Amino acid sequence: MEEEKRGRGELLKQFVLSRIEEKGAIPFSQFMEWCLYHPQYGYYHSEETKIGKDGDYYTGSCVHPLFGGMVAKQLSQMAEILGRESFDVVEMGGGRGFLCQDILNWAQRNRPHFYRCLKYHLIEMSSSFLKEQKERLSNFEKEGKVFWMNPETFEEGKNQVTGCFLSNELVDAFPVHQVVFDHGKLKEVYVTRHNGQLKEVMDKPSDPRLLAYFESMGIRLQEGQRAEVNLRALDWMERVGRFLEKGFVLTVDYGYLAEELYAPYRRSGTLLCYYRHQTSQNPYEHPGEQDITSHVNFTDLIKKGEEAGLRFVGLVPQYRFLIALGILQEMDSLGQDLSQLDGLKMRLSLMHLIEPEAGMGEMFKVLIQRKGIDGPLLEGLKDLNSIPWPTPSLNISPPLAGGD
């Protein structure tokens, strides 16, 4: 297995070097796209386990099924607001299928009416994830609950569904442009070859949108500061707006608003690589064998969403979203049926989802947008000052929320 992985990584490196020799230096975004999505050598098209204990990183849906249960609870309320007998959930980038499985299991047990009206559609680019999804969700597929949608259907961008467009750690995996503010000018990072190896160089931006990107948000990078620009996220948000006829967009990912994301102290940007649960900032190691991500600019998603007809409802840290939906009460209920040791293990794993300091609770955010609906009061966005919290010393302020 290790020889196969090293072989694939070397093949990808040689592919990149040959394309550079043929076409010249390439923007970093192109290099990242090949590393992640090349149909033969890309990370997301390999058969090795990527998510979970035996993979390279965790997602919320891998930590405990209650994460999916709380998302299902919010989806159930959205279905009630729409008041339809049919509610479509479209999840893009569903990974190993755990989130879909947990949402459907929770709905089947706790909200039978919601389960009956629910149709779950998956859009998946990774051939290995698609295979695992079909195996894991085969029973739901037989029941007529799960469907797979061709990615081209989404790319066409026509109004398709009424319900909720859902993603969990999707946007952070879009290929990004890297830029550096150098001698008073914005320059882009390119990848070239030198003595048979990959090497970075800086040159003028390859896309004119990069020049206006920071100015449009009132952001000025410091001299020598490096940053990522996710233009793919803007294109994706526009397509989501066209694809959703009426309903909600629920985006879970890690990142910040622009002012914090591009703060002067982030001089090296936020690009991270994950290889066997170890992080690094070197994307040129293990090409095709490690995940490459960058933090999401939520200001960008909110602004582009407004342009695409998606009104801002709210943005909250993941821990507040989950607590508002009752995850603490669910933890207590589950613990009653477990031994003392198993109960402790369960609580420790779930604390990883909601711990603001060391876990996923603060870094991960939940963004909700709406289309064709007047300002709904969603349960996952309610003011947590009214909810009992086991650590009163924590300062919990009202969520950032949009209005009319």
Mind listing the pLDDT tens digit for each residue in 342-377?
766 766 776 767 766 655 657 899 999 999 999 888
pLDDT over 90 for what percent of the chain? 66
Instruction: Tell me which residue has tokens 């190896």.
Output: 197
Q: What is the pLDDT of residue 291?
A: 92
Query: Cα separation of 386 and 396, whole Å?
Result: 10
pLDDT tens digits, 36-58: 999 889 998 877 654 545 444 45
Axis crossing angle, helix 127-136 with helix 98-110, rounded to the nearest 10: 30
Q: What is the pLDDT of residue 50?
A: 47
Q: Report DSSP state, residue 172.
A: G
Q: 402 to each of 252, 309, 314, how far by Cα in Å?
A: 17, 14, 5
Separation of CA 257 from chain center: 15
- Kindly indicate the confidence band of residue 226, based on its pLDDT and cuts at 50, 70 and 90: very high
- The arithmetic mean of pLDDT across residues 95-121, rounded, is 96
Q: What is the pLDDT of residue 62?
A: 56
The string over 177-212, giving b where at least 16 C-beta atoms fall within 10 Å of a residue's C-beta and e elsewhere, is bbbbbeeeebbbbbbbbeeeebebeeeebbeeebee
pLDDT tens digits, 300-315: 999 999 999 999 999 9
Global pTM value: 0.87
Q: What is the pLDDT of residue 281?
A: 87
Q: What mean pLDDT value characterizes the chain?
A: 87
pLDDT of 174 > 80? The answer is yes
Q: What is the pLDDT of residue 159?
A: 72
pLDDT tens digits, 249-269: 999 999 999 999 999 999 999
- Spatial strand order of the sheet with 272-275 comes to 278-280, 272-275, 291-293
Between residues 63 and 230, which one has the greater pLDDT? 230
